[in-house]
Amino acid sequence: MRFDLNDEQRAIKDAIREVCDARASRGEGAETDGAFWSELAKSGWTQMAVPQEFGGQGSGLLELSLVLEEMGRALVGGAYLGHAAAAVLIAASGDEQQRPRWLPGLATADGRAALGQAHNGGALLVDASGAALAVIAGPETAAVLDPVPGALNEAASLDVTRTLHRVESAGAERLRGDVDRGLDRAEVLLAAELVGVAQRAMELAVEHASNRQQFGRPIGAYQAVSHRCADMLVQVESARSAVLSAAWTADHEPEQLPFAASVAKVTAASAAWQVAAASLQVHGGMGFTWEYPIHRYLRRAAAGARLLRSVDHHLDRIADQNGLGAEAVAAGAVQPAYAVP
């Protein structure tokens, strides 16, 4: 029992942080950034999520989560989430025919995949321009749209670091395996990205609170600000614990994943939005300007929290798993279903 990263995991985290920080320091335009994607592909980062038997690196979900947290923190490489999520979805929820058909392409430099959300009979694709294929997720389904049509109908994206397109999903082929398994794994990656968003939003708040003077003191000396920051820390660390645990669980105790993934999504989605909103408040008027980065985090948090299945969906599942499900009622169970090691 050791809840800390091993040397290899730390090395991954340090390496991707360096890559992301370097990209972030080059300024705006980080969104759907072909050059950055090529850089990531060249160094093999984009192959991590593809199983080895299909030409990828077959990294664990824990390692992928470390990458995604750093990307969320630096708010770069937005397309990476969709690609990695699509890969784990096809790998976990595709059947014997589907996996060899699509996964090898995802391990190649020009085989980028995008993620889409079923919506109003069609789908909304995230960062789809230039993607070879897309996986469209619904609350209980996932389907592969191959190829992504050349002419895409652009929609206004709340998350300004990502593009959004509307497509017909009629031609998409449903993944025929265990869809929940793939969705849960994708949720963990999304949650990891949201932890990075929350982390950076907190850092910005703490930095501002330490420097900004009002009434003769740095505002971080006032409890209205400092306690707000402390609450951010509680949320960020809790979400990080939940994501690390869910990612580890996916890799090692997959039968426990449904609970762990729901906990990760709920905590990370709440943390990202609440921390970003609180950070904006700490920044005062400055936080409300377009030029200052906090709103990009806020938008990522708002949209990200609503990708894949909703928080309410997860809460309902958690209630079902913990004594309020139909089976529990039938069995008269009192003990929670979940087992502590």
| Tokens standing for residue 292 | 């200052």
Distance in Å, CB of 228 to its own copies, minimum: 10
Distance in Å, CB of 213 to other proteins, minimum: 7
Nearest residue (CB) to its own copies, 57 versus 274: 274
Q: Total number of residues binding other proteins (CB under 8 A)?
A: 97
Nearest residue (CB) to other proteins, 57 versus 226: 226
What is the distance between the alpha carbons of residues 231 and 264, in angstroms, rounded to a whole number?
18
Binders of other proteins among 1-40, rule CB under 8 A? Answer: 1-6, 9
| Tokens standing for residue 70 | 């750093």
Nearest residue (CB) to its own copies, 215 versus 290: 215
What is the distance between the alpha carbons of residues 3 and 166, in angstroms, rounded to a whole number?
42
Binders of other proteins among 259-318, rule CB under 8 A? Answer: 259, 262-263, 266-267, 277, 280-281, 284-291, 294-295, 298-299, 302-303, 306-307, 310-312, 314-316, 318
Nearest residue (CB) to its own copies, 228 versus 296: 228
Residue 192 binds which of other proteins, its own copies, none (CB < 5-8 A, kind-dependent): none
**Nearest Cα residue to 20 out of 82, 73, 57, 96:** 73
Distance in Å, CB of 314 to its own copies, minimum: 23
Stretch that binds other proteins, among 18-26, 75-83, 180-188, 255-263 (CB under 8 A): 255-263
Tell me if 86 sits within 8 A of 134, measured CB to CB. yes
Nearest residue (CB) to other proteins, 129 versus 281: 281
Distance in Å, CB of 24 to other proteins, minimum: 19
Nearest residue (CB) to other proteins, 101 versus 119: 119
Residue 280 binds which of other proteins, its own copies, none (CB < 5-8 A, kind-dependent): other proteins
3-state secondary structure of 142: strand
Binders of other proteins among 45-64, rule CB under 8 A? Answer: 62
Tell me if 275 sits within 8 A of 236, measured CB to CB. yes
Tell me if 70 sits within 8 A of 20, measured CB to CB. yes
By CB under 8 A, name the one of 75, 118, 144, 175 that touches other proteins.
118
For 183-218, b/e burial (b = at least 16 CB within 10 A) is bbbbbbbbbbbbbbbbbbbbebbbebbeebeeeeee
Nearby residues of 174 by Cβ (< 8 Å), 6 or more positions away: 141, 142, 143
* Residue 223 binding other proteins, by CB under 8 A: yes
Cα-atom radius of gyration of the chain, to the nearest Å? 20
Q: How many Cβ atoms from other residues are within 10 Å of residue 246's Cβ?
A: 31
**Nearest Cα residue to 267 out of 182, 197, 180, 181:** 197
Nearest residue (CB) to its own copies, 26 versus 227: 227
Distance in Å, CB of 226 to its own copies, minimum: 9
Binders of other proteins among 127-166, rule CB under 8 A? Answer: 155-160, 164
Residue 285 binds which of other proteins, its own copies, none (CB < 5-8 A, kind-dependent): other proteins
61 CB-side CA count, 13 A: 33
